Amino acid sequence: MLHKILLYKKQNTITTMLKKYILLCNFLLAASALLAQSTEPIVIETKTTALVLKTGAKQKLFQAYFGPKLADYKAASTTHQAYIPAGGDDLFEPAIQVTHADGNPSLYLQFESTKKETVGNVTHTSITLKDPQYPVEVTLHYKAYYNEDVITGWTEIVHHEAQPITLTNIASNMLHFNAAQYWLTQFHGDWAQEQKMVNAQLTSGIKVLDTKLTTRSQMYQSPFFMVSLNKSSTENEGEVLMGTLAWSGNFRFAFEVDNDNALRIISGINPFASAYTLVPNQSFTSPEFIFTYSTAGRGQGSRNMHNWARKYGIADGEKPRLTLLNNWETTLFDFTQQQLDSLIGSTATLGLDVFLLDDGWFGNKYPRNNDKSALGDWQLNKTKLPGGISHLVSEAKNRGVKFGIWVEPEMVSPKSVLYETHPDWVAKLPNREEVYYRNQLVLDLSNPAVQEHVFHVLDDILTQNPGLAFFKWDCNAVIYNAWSPYEKYKSNFFIDYVKGLYKVMDRVTAKYPHLNMMLCSGGGSRLDYGALKHFTEFWASDNTDGLERVYMQWGYSHFYPANAIAAHVTSWGKQSLKFRTDVAMMDKLGYDINVSHFTPDELNFTKEAVSTYKRLSGVISQGDLYRLVSPYEQNRAVLMYASADKKSAVLFSYTLNLRFHEDVVPVVLQGLDEHKTYKLTEVNLYPGIEPSKLNGKTYSGEFLMKAGLPLSSLTPLSSAVFELTAVD
Ligand code: DGJ
């Protein structure tokens, strides 16, 4: 009996346990369904900004809010679908367009799950959306950089259909705004005319900023923009979104104002000629869209970008930079070893860190004596440089400086051994005439064999010359007649080119993590944060005319910190050496000038300027930038950098060409401590020229930031640089 009772009890316990288990399972299932249908907002927050997403009707994901951080987001609406797929019920510009294996050209996206992970300052939120009918999964990623007030967004797509699907378009990010007005500031130009800023109101319809040039992609349009909400923002006022795409290829920003005056901004790879075939079970990741939102004007937005870039966006962004003397403007292709030895001597005389040997050092069968040959043949030209690179490296070492070298590894000259041996590596259309840009063609970097070749261009030079300290990585051609002999799916080429390029850059950086490298593309045609994480600086323009540079560097400063913007003193421009030096010094100072032509005064001035720059470069590179007077608004430009502890600052003032009796009001400084007293010391004084009346004076921070300083002289194309030091 007892046995039966025990057995009964045991069975009963098992049944109860089973029941409990089933109940628990049901509960978990219900809970997960609940979670999937959750209307709880997904909050992506930085120090001052919030982006809030929420599921709504039909399990769609909506952008419920974007703006200044709020205490709660309960009232946030679900009007704008966060990431709009084509083929559904929204007939404005989509974020994504997919054609399934069966030819169905629509995608429906329903909320599936979300994940959040915080590591220190950075919170990564991912939201997975699924198509209810097709096995396609889209994950929206957002990284919030709390202290810097920067968010990055990108998209990942994977599918499990039986055959490949086609991604006609896959944006990195989509944002929605509801404001009375929208003002777009774009940055555009051409060779030697980089970063022209234009501000215009967006009206109903679509405005597109894009490029189709692939390699030298940013020659006409820069990969960044600002959108002011309600009214045009100024340096210190207004709501402004500032965004840039980390992609060294074809990008596209679409700004569409719809029938309700709502604005959607779609940022990503340019879908032009890029329908991407995605095979089953492989994922496709879009580049990052990096954005910041400021309610205190563009100045704050730029400081956010700079803080982010130095920490996360550029290689060794918080470390000191090497100063350079480059030979390009002095010699072009025409140099001898003896001349280079003498330039290495000039590098040492000026107190610079590196001598950078530019184009023209390679090719033997077809020597590189002009731009018509030898790209691809990265062997040292024995006639020009009989001692080899090792001679130059050791000559530099003897003079106490370092040696750096120029390469253009993605390119090939039709007159080269590489072209003769590997015609299949060249990206060009069959059955069509070759079309050259600067007499050259581009290698097909979607091909792993080409990636291997490009990696070895750099790796071989570095392995053979371990003392080599610097690379300038140039890229002078666009891709005409684009076609990959390698790709199975031909229209994947534009995208796979850039992915191949990044594979090479990743490899170089993995092997040489602290290599100083300058990103260059026939001036500043490649300067995006996709590449810049591997580079310590970029070549801003071949145009180094001091006056032009005031505008150009002003433009660049909106998105890049000073230590990334290579600015060299050359013999371009009719301004004084002092003016050109003062302009170059607002960013990363360097030289590309024939020092042997300097007068004794010029030489002394330059030596002093280099040492001053080295002393002040901590504040210039790492300090907070305040643009005080815009050259776009007045015939002068004034800006300053202030250290985080507000103990020191550097102030740059340029008089461009004041009109007769033009009103020049005092310039009110920013970023200082009202309660501190600052001494002004004028630096970069040219021998024999009287310093400004402000030199040596002290002022309270309050005075400087409320009353301001009479800064500009009346002399056209004159300039002054002041060091401000807190004295109490
Ligand atoms: C274009 C670059 O912008 C120049 O600085 C120089 O490196 C030339 N290429 C060399 O060909």
Cβ(56)–Cβ(78) under 8 Å? yes
pLDDT value of position 28: 40
Residues 6+ apart with CB under 8 A from 632: 197, 551, 554
Is the Cβ atom of 539 under 6 angstroms away from ligand 1?
A: yes
Q: Is residue 360 lining ligand 1, measured as CB closer than 6 Å?
A: no
SS3 578: helix
Res 7: pLDDT: 39
Specify the pLDDT at position 15.
45
Determine the residue of 329, 439, 518, 520 to mutate for testing ligand 1's pocket, defined as the one with the most ligand atoms within 8 A of the Cβ atom: 520
**Whole-angstrom Cα distance, residue 599 to residue 605?**
10
**pLDDT tens digit string along 509-536?**
999 999 999 999 999 999 999 999 999 9
What is the predicted pLDDT for the residue at 37? 46
Q: Choose the residue to mutate in 358, 369, 371, 552 for probing ligand 1, maximizing ligand atoms within 8 Å of C-beta.
A: 358
CA of 628 to the centre of ligand 1 (A): 32
Q: For residue 270, report the distance from its CA to the centre of ligand 1, in Å.
A: 27
Q: Could you state, in order of their start, the residue ranges of all structural domains in the chain?
A: 1-38, 42-313, 324-622, 627-726
CATH number 3.50.50.60 given to 42-313: no
Nearest to 519 by CA among 581, 484, 471, 463: 471
Fold of the CATH domain 324-622: TIM Barrel (3.20.20)
653 lines ligand 1 (CB under 6 A): no
pLDDT of residue 293: 98
CB 223 within 8 A of CB 531: no
CATH of span 627-726: 2.60.40.1180
Contact indicator for 475, 526 with CB cutoff of 8 Å: yes
CA of 478 to the centre of ligand 1 (A): 15
List the residue whose alpha carbon is closest to atom 4 of ligand 1. Answer: 522
- Please tell me the predicted confidence (pLDDT) of residue 167: 98
Question: Three-state DSSP class for 385?
Answer: coil
User: For atom 1 of ligand 1, which residue has the closest CA?
Assistant: 522
Distance 572 CA to ligand 1 centre (A): 14
Out of 472, 474, 521, 541, mutate this one to test ligand 1's pocket (max ligand atoms within 8 Å of CB): namely 474
3-state secondary structure string across 303-350: HHHHHHHHHHHCCCCCCCCCCEEECHHHHCCCCCHHHHHHHHHHHHHH
The residues of the chain scoring below 70 in pLDDT are 1-39
Q: Which atom of ligand 1 is nearest to the CA of 592?
A: 5
pLDDT of residue 35: 43
Any atom of ligand 1 within 6 Å of the Cβ of 194: no
Closest CA to 511 of 472, 471, 455: 455
